[in-house]
Amino acid sequence: DQQVKQNSPSLSVQEGRISILNCDYTNSMFDYFLWYKKYPAEGPTFLISISSIKDKNEDGRFTVFLNKSAKHLSLHIVPSQPGDSAVYFCAASGGGNQFYFGTGTSLTVIP
Amino acid sequence: DTAVSQTPKYLVTQMGNDKSIKCEQNLGHDTMYWYKQDSKKFLKIMFSYNNKELIINETVPNRFSPKSPDKAHLNLHINSLELGDSAVYFCASSQGRGREEQYFGPGTRLTVT
């Protein structure tokens, strides 16, 4: 039973434009969320997080938005750069250090 | 300087064999994890150790046995390998046992033939 879903397996965006990656979750107990970025043949690396007490968290070009009522979060990358091309995973936790991951969205930024 | 390292990077073996994957972290973290990423790209936690103590043990066949000789190492031993064990196995670590970012190793691609 997949509690975290990323329904878009892939996304292509022109360089300089906005990339929006989406993530949905089903467990209302989840209250902490992270985004990871993964390059081929490497492990995921942490990108940005958000707690359920916030609805937005920003770090440079990356912003995560959380809509608790819709059980939905999104990652915005502005402006997108070719080096952002990677697989992006969202992960959610309802407590402790146990995180549930989505299946990832492969982002391609076209120069 | 590799923060979380895994060996081997690739492992090809036959059904029924026993194999081990090793993981080491040099970050001074207290907690380590094993994840399995299957063919559908679903990344799922298997085990977590905090200071050598097992704290997360998801529903995993008992053919999988983690071993933590010290807090910098977490090895995964798999007995009687099956075709369905083919996957990428990631080791990770975090500072404590709370909600923190986890640092992942590069993964071990296991192929069972």
Strand B10-13 vs strand B108-112: parallel, antiparallel, or unpaired? parallel
pLDDT number for residue B39: 83
Cβ neighbours around A9 below 10 Å, total: 11
DSSP assignments along A70-82, one per residue: TTEEEEEESS--G
- Predicted confidence at residue B1, as pLDDT, reads 63
- Report yes or no: A83 at the B interface, CB cutoff 8 Å: no
Q: How distant is the Cα of B15 from the closest Cα of chain A, in angstroms?
A: 25
The arithmetic mean of pLDDT across residues A27-33, rounded, is 94
Calculated CA dihedral for residues A108, B2, B4, B9, nearest 10 degrees? 70
Rounded to an integer, the average pLDDT of A15-27 is 97
Model confidence over B73-88: pLDDT tens digits? 999 999 999 999 999 9
A10-14 and A105-110 beta bridge pairing: parallel
- Report the alpha-carbon angle A56-A52-B94, nearest 5: 100
Of B31, B55, B106, the CB nearest to A43: B106
How would DSSP label each residue in B37-51? Answer: E-TT--EEEEEEEET
pLDDT at A95: 82
Measure the CA–CA gap between B101 and A97, rounded to whole angstroms.
9
Spatial CB neighbours of A40, under 8 Å, sequence gap ≥ 6: none
pLDDT digits (tens, 9 = 90+) for B22-60: 999 999 999 999 999 988 788 899 999 988 888 888 878
Confidence band for B98, pLDDT divided at 50, 70 and 90? confident
The answer to whether residue A70 neighbours chain B at the CB level (below 8 Å) is no
- Here the tokens at position A16 are 């300089």
pLDDT exceeds cutoff 90 at A43? yes
